[in-house]
């Protein structure tokens, strides 16, 4: 998993409430277990018609936001089913941070496990960042995870809270496997001891 330390990027506004995981990545794209190639299905029904032709106007398809790495969203983002493909699709598109007043719990947890920083802020602060994001390619927002601050295009600063353990994992690029491998010395020692006392377990 890629480390998340600082991020300075265009922020895209998505002022919608209750954006569920089926809207983020529809069910027809869930056949793969690969984490790549899912960007094409991200927000598919908002971006394409029934014939697969592009619709006009969706924010991430506008030239100013095609390189956006930050999403400013409405309340209850990521609700619905627990599909982990939702954060995979966002990450495959390039989104590394989502800022919203609230998130569905499973989606929120899955973001941290996949290198995306979800930030919860009061609605009034999200509204300020949403206004900033409306500036198009000038909507440059900086996020510093170590100091837990967001700096807007005009230099205004907002602090945010994040669980210390999850912060440690993001700063060091540790997913569940990475966390386990941090204990490799203890694991190796246990296996060596077990081979001596219970060799039949190792064939």
Nearest-5° Cα angle at 86, 1 to 182: 25
pTM over 0.75? The answer is yes
- Is the per-residue pLDDT at 178 higher than 90? no
Residue 197 included in any domain: no
Quick one: average pLDDT of 2-20?
Answer: 97
Residue 119 included in any domain: yes
- Is the per-residue pLDDT at 106 higher than 80? yes
The total number of structural domains in the chain stands at: 1
Work out the angle between the directed axes of helices 105-113 and 164-172 (0-180°, nearest 10). Answer: 40
Residue 116 CB coordination number (10 Å): 23
Q: Give the pLDDT score at 180.
A: 75
Nearest-5° Cα angle at 78, 176 to 70: 80
Residue 193 included in any domain: no
What's the farthest any 2 CA atoms get from each other in the chain? 67
Beta-strand ranges (E) seen in the chain are 6-14, 70-73, 97-100, 117-120, 140-144, 149-151, 157-159
> Are 19 and 188 a contacting pair, CB within 8 Å?
no
- Provide the CATH number for the domain around residue 20: 3.20.19.10
Domain that holds residue 154: 6-172
């Amino acid at each position: 998993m890629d480390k998340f330390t600082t991020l300075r990027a265009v922020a895209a506004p998505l002022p919608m409430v209750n954006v569920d995981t089926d809207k983020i990545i529809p069910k027809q794209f869930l056949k793969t277990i690969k984490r790549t190639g899912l960007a094409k299905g991200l927000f598919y029904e908002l971006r394409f018609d029934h014939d697969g032709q592009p619709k006009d106007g969706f924010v991430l398809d506008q030239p100013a936001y095609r390189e956006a790495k930050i999403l400013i969203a409405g309340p209850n983002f990521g609700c619905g089913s627990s599909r982990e493909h939702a954060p995979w699709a966002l990450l495959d598109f390039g989104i590394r941070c989502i800022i919203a007043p609230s998130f569905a719990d499973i989606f929120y947890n899955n973001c941290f496990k996949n290198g995306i920083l979800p930030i919860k802020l009061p609605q009034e602060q999200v509204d300020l960042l949403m206004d900033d994001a409306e500036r198009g390619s000038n909507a440059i927002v900086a996020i510093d995870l170590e100091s837990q601050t967001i700096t807007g295009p005009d230099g205004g600063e907002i602090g945010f809270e994040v669980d210390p353990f999850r912060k440690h994992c993001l700063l060091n690029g540790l997913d569940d496997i990475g966390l386990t491998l941090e204990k490799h010395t203890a694991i190796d020692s246990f296996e060596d001891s077990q081979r001596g006392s219970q060799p039949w377990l190792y064939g």
